[in-house]
Amino acid sequence: MDNSLQAKLRPLRELIDTIDAQILELLCQRARAAQDVGEVKHAANADGPVLRPEREADIIRRLQQLNRGPFPRDAIASVWTEIISACRGLERGMTVAFLGPRGSFSEQAAYEHFGRSVQPLPCPSFDEVFRAVEAGQADVGMVPVENSTEGAVNRTLDLLLNTPTKILGERSLDIRHCLMTQSGTMEGITAVAAHPQALAQCQGWLNRNYPGLERIAESSNSEAARVASENPTIAAIAGETAAPAWNLQIVSAGIQDDPNNRTRFLAIGDFQPLPSGKDKTSLIMAVPNRAGAVYDMLAPMAANGVSMTRFESRPARTGQWEYYFYIDVQGHRDDPQVARALADLQSQAAFLKILGSYPAQ
């Protein structure tokens, strides 16, 4: 680098160093304030959940509105999620359960949503994620609920119906599947392992490129990566983070059939977030078996100006062709128009369970 360029860059780099030191001091001030919050709550015997989803969402949205650039708007969410996570950890540590082992998309969603200053708890199944939260082994959990290619994750829907856990938040991830092996090649590979949804999401690519390989369904993509790390004849389909986690090499990246493949995850816990100003409410309903029942179910939403963002049915498994309806609406259950709609629904539904109100992503 020539001397004239170095001379121009030196003062700019010194300015960046000075600003970084100022940012660090401000972060330490914020951390001390977070510690003070914890002490005040403890002194008042108000040791409730350390996680405040509505407060955290409000902080990030307010900063995004204040931002005049050139700092990227989306980066504010990433940066402040980690700042909030680190400060939250000073008040009290938080354990997050997710489908494991290491390197799963559920783990990635958990870190993106709660930040990395948490204690991870990988679980072997969705049932164990819910059980860990119910039993108090984890403060919160993260589970997938729907994929843009393959639709609903039915086991999650069933567990939401049958457990007392509440939805605390949501996180949508771009799903980029990678084929990986021990060697980084397909030499000697006889089978490919992945979660059934991942196999379905990559079905066209596999049919074109490796139609003769046996396909093995595993409990998660990260479990497939673990299996591949122990067996040189098996390739795994998993996210990029699974490769270094299990000492594998990526053969092909981005092998999903839909380039816009996304999965929506839900954060679950045992408390109800307060309104944040931009919320979503999820519920499950069943209606009497009579003509017009579904129409009558939707009418209170329209009458109260409540917008639905998701409406999905699932068999009730009674053998009588009855269904549960999984519904997402805009707004918090404490918002007047949503409260009125829910009260009307309660009066006419055969079954109504409010899964939670939470900040919308």
Tell me the catalytic residues: 263, 265
Which residue has 């072997």 as its token pair? 124
The DSSP 8-state label assigned to residue 150 in this structure reads T
Cβ pair 280, 267 in contact under 8 A: no
- DSSP annotation string for 219-281: SSHHHHHHHHHH-TTEEEEE-TTHHHHTT-EEEEE---S-TT-EEEEEEEESS-PPP-SSEEE
Helix or strand holding residue 95 (H, E): strand 95-99
Amino acid (1-letter code) at residue 6:
Q
Cβ pair 107, 245 in contact under 8 A: no
- List b or e across 270-297, with b for residues whose CB sees 16 or more CB atoms inside 10 angstroms: eebbebbeebbbbbbbbbeeeeeeeebb
Helix or strand holding residue 98 (H, E): strand 95-99
Nearest in space to 330 (alpha carbons), one of 269, 282, 266, 298: 282
